[in-house]
Chain A
Amino acid sequence: MMKILMTAMKTSISEVMETMFYLPVEFGEEATLAQCGMDKNKPIMASRLKFTGDVSGSLCIFIPKDLIGEMAENFMGEAKGLLTDDHLSGTLTEMLNMVCGNALSKIDTKVPFELSIPKVIDESKIQEKEILTIVETFESNMAILLKID
């Protein structure tokens, strides 16, 4: 099931990033957060969404704040200078919501999945040994962490 879910998540990330944020992506190797190729000196924003259904779990996403700024600019059509932290966190959580909802709707289950409200989390709370999947954009990398309960 983990493999099916991850495949669906990757497909949805590509769809959502291209359709709503105009940013094509490619998927890289798996690595810890420190090894994901994100600049350690620049802030990273993270969000988590839990899902329940035939299978329950969570999806976390880690994106450099600079990249979120570009995504929000493309998404909302507003100049970067006009975007507030609320716009950035809103873009982050909405992106995660779209990815998760879109991905889980591709999976054939007896009971429809229910999604929690996505929350912004402190990326420093993630365990150093957690293995994430790298998502590459032209500008910079981001990463996802899919967990099944």
Chain B
Amino acid sequence: MSFSILIVDDSLPMRSVIKRTFKAAGYGNAEFREAANGKEALELMKNDWIDIVITDYNMPVMNGLELIKIIKKDDLFKDIPIVVVSTEGNDVKIREFMDNGAAGYITKPFTPETIRDLINNILGEASYDEDLDDSDEDFDF
């Protein structure tokens, strides 16, 4: 089953790393969309169906927490799971993300296994593409 994953991060290299990490974790058949901040993400969501949002917190224009609050107030988007991938590892901050509706939280630096376990938990084991687990992609976390 193919999923549409929206990656929201102002860092171009980090978006690329998250995408590669998803592929290495068995989500090679997913469709990836990218946005550099919360505002861009919302614009993109108006036109493309998204199954899960992966967002950074610390971004210009609109940060990850503002994005979560807007998505969770929108009847059309409120059921889309949102995972925060951020350097912010403070318990108070993490609780704030979760209290506002985030489905999960991953602290940078991360490993593919961390992402795979959390996403499997949220989307269900069926989303994991075992055929790609032995892919020859040069990615050796």
Contact = CB atoms under 8 A, between A and B. Distances in A.
Given A77-B138, A98-B108, A98-B109, A105 B90 contact: yes
A37 interface: no
Contact of A112 (B12, B59, B90): B90
A15 B13 contact: no
Given A19-B109, A102-B108, A117-B58, A112 B92 contact: yes
Interface string B104-141: 00011111000000000000000000000000011100
B109 A102 contact: yes
B13 A100 contact: no
B12 A98 contact: no
B12 A102 contact: no
Contact of A75 (B13, B88, B92, B137): B13
Interface residues of B, number: 26
Contacts, number: 73
Contact of B93 (A75, A90, A98, A112): A112
A12 to B, nearest CB: 9
B13 A94 contact: yes
B34 interface: no
Name which of A78, A90, A109, A115 has the most chain B CB atoms within 10 A of its CB. Answer: A90
Interface in A15-46: 15-16, 19-20
